[in-house]
Amino acid sequence: MGGCTKEDVSYLDRRFSKKVRDNVHGNIYLDPLSLKFVDTEEFQRLRDLKQLGLTYMVYPGAVHSRFEHSLGVFSLAGEAVHRIKAQQGSELGIDNLDIQTVKLAGLLHDVGHGPFSHMFEHEFLHRISHGIKWRHEDMSVRMIDHIVDFHHIDIDAECLKKAKEMVIASTEHVSHRSVNEKHFLYDIVANGRNGIDVDKFDYIVRDSRACGLGCSFQIERLMDSMRVMGDEICYRDKDYLTIFKLFSSRADLHRTVYTHAKVKAIELMFVDSLIKADDYLQISSKIQDPAEFWKIDDSILKTIEVSHEQELKEARDLILRIRKRDLYQFCNEFSVPKDKLQHFKDITPQDIVCSQGNGDITLKEEDVAVCNVKIDLTRGRSNPLENFLYYQDFESNEKFPVHDYRISHLLPAFCEDRIVRVYSKNPDLVKTVSEAFENFQLKTYGMKAQVHATPDRKRNRRSQKTSNKDIPKIVENLELACRHYRG
């Protein structure tokens, strides 16, 4: 029998565990089986993946890694299932196998994650994969199998199967489970039912702290409130606003950190750099094979930057521009009107170029970059709180929904924002791109949906720049002015 059995309780004994000090959760104790996965090069790779990708170039403290996030989710997953067992273990039949499986899923849920946060799969691979769908959750499952096979990890087959299912539990292609399965266990790490899980618990608190932001969400309050009723995790009705704060904190992070205008400018530039480097470095050719994929990490940036290969010159020049803060220039943004959201399609550079009016300069698609930002409460335009069931107190056995109007009239009536941002890749074309963007808004929505106009100092940068041939004339005029003053 493998290293995860119903009878094996050694992982509960700290004499057999390794202590790791985490700056968010304090002491984390890794059991022997989990250590077998942690002490592999595939898992250690997560140290070289920044949790927030290139965000540290705007928020200097955001240098924490997928490694520490994974340990945090491991810790919270174990704590959650332990609390449920302490309160309801006898009626739910939670055993040591269940506990180890949930913890393992928390530990390994991001082991197949790409570099540079979600930019790698949502931006880079989306543009070059030609319709091929690639998800880090699927790669995590393949990577788990690779680690087990390559490192000959002795693990119970049922434990391994369930842990992999828990990793992809939030995706729509979850494998069929038997009717006797403990479904609530699959909602702890990656919750596909309503989106509340310990993965969010960790990254919301960890990312807020790293970026120097406050966080009003209380993990402890929700952990204490968890109760399984009808094979799903429910919460006390008093914790309605605490759950709302979880989702609103996540939305705030998306708006102020993950999709910050400067962060997206840097990401757009680096995606262009990766695309130019892909033929030479063969990055995209490694995304299907775990044995090759684990070798890809954030060091790609430095590889391109220090290379002297002519094939990487264009990619290298873009990174040098990022280093010198010569970024794609933000022109403006607008929020898509609510009545247009249902049929909204991503705006492309072609849409902006085709909206250009008459002028001296003719824009090309390669002059424009567009970022389509989606910010929601995890359920698009739907309110995720409508998917929750609550209970009144620990003595009650009834679960029920709670509606917004019974709590507060200050809660949002709409749960999704779509923001379109347009950038000029050439700083000298900001005015032209800005005007084309404004024309696009007028043509599409009959109004300028943006709040502010592009500042004149950006629009007129081209006319304000002084060329070398103008310098002698300027010097001559200064000398004439000085002689006139002395005379």
**How many whole angstroms separate alpha carbon 246 and alpha carbon 17?**
32
Q: Is the pLDDT of residue 357 over 90?
A: no
Count Cα neighbours of 393 within 13 Å in the Cβ-side half-sphere: 1
Count Cα neighbours of 457 within 13 Å in the Cβ-side half-sphere: 0
Give 238-251 pLDDT, tens digit per residue. Answer: 999 999 999 999 99
**What is the mean predicted confidence (pLDDT) over 66-78?**
98
**What is the mean predicted confidence (pLDDT) over 317-343?**
94
pLDDT at 179: 47
Residue 56: which of 418, 306, 326, 322 has the closest Cα? 322
pLDDT at 107: 98
Per-residue pLDDT band at 9 (split at 50, 70, 90): very low
Per-residue pLDDT band at 473 (split at 50, 70, 90): low
**How many whole angstroms separate alpha carbon 110 and alpha carbon 66?**
7
Residue 233: which of 437, 435, 389 has the closest Cα? 389
Helices and strands in the chain: count of H runs, count of E runs: 20, 8
**What is the mean predicted confidence (pLDDT) over 61-90?**
95
Three-class DSSP labels, 199-242: HHHHHHHHHHHHCCCCCCCCHHHHHHHCEEECCEEEEEHHHHHH
pLDDT at 469: 55
* Distances from the Cα of 121 to the Cα of 2, 287, 461, angstroms: 34, 10, 35
Query: Where do runs of H (alpha helix) occur along 259-312?
Result: 261-281, 290-293, 300-306
The pTM (predicted TM-score) of the whole model is 0.89
**What is the mean predicted confidence (pLDDT) over 3-30?**
75
Of the candidate ranges 133-137, 232-236, 296-300, 386-390, the one whose mean pLDDT is the lowest: 386-390
pLDDT at 284: 93
**What is the mean predicted confidence (pLDDT) over 218-242?**
92
Residue with the bigger pLDDT between 280 and 410: it is 280
pLDDT at 486: 59
Bridge partners (DSSP) listed for residue 22: 26
**What is the mean predicted confidence (pLDDT) over 283-295?**
95
Domains of the chain in sequence order: 10-261 (1.10.3210.10), 328-377+415-487 (3.30.70.2760)
End-to-end CA distance of the chain: 102
Contact 52, 213 (CB under 8 A): no
Per-residue pLDDT band at 176 (split at 50, 70, 90): very low
- Using alpha carbons only, how large is the chain's radius of gyration in Å? 26
Pair of tokens at residue 413: 């009536």
pLDDT at 14: 74
Residue with the bigger pLDDT between 180 and 483: it is 483
Q: What is the mean pLDDT of the chain?
A: 89
Pair of tokens at residue 466: 């002084």
**How many whole angstroms separate alpha carbon 239 and alpha carbon 310?**
59
**What is the mean predicted confidence (pLDDT) over 44-71?**
98
**What is the mean predicted confidence (pLDDT) over 7-18?**
63
* Distances from the Cα of 79 to the Cα of 238, 456, 464, angstroms: 22, 55, 60
Bridge partners (DSSP) listed for residue 50: 65
Pair of tokens at residue 437: 């963007």
Bridge partners (DSSP) listed for residue 39: none
Of the candidate ranges 47-51, 187-191, 392-396, the one whose mean pLDDT is the lowest: 392-396
pLDDT at 387: 82
Q: Which residues, other chains included, contact 39 with Cβ-Cβ below 8 Å and sequence gap of 6+?
A: none
pLDDT at 479: 67
What share of the chain in percent tops pLDDT 70? 89
| Catalytic residue selected from 136, 152, 176, 452 | 136
Which amino acid is it at 316? R
**What is the mean predicted confidence (pLDDT) over 173-177?**
48
Within 392-437, strands assigned E span 416-424
Pair of tokens at residue 247: 């989702």
Residues in the chain: 487
Residue 88: which of 322, 327, 310, 394 has the closest Cα? 394
**How many whole angstroms separate alpha carbon 420 and alpha carbon 438?**
12
146 catalytic per annotation: no
**What is the mean predicted confidence (pLDDT) over 101-122?**
97
Residue with the bigger pLDDT between 446 and 203: it is 203
pLDDT at 464: 52
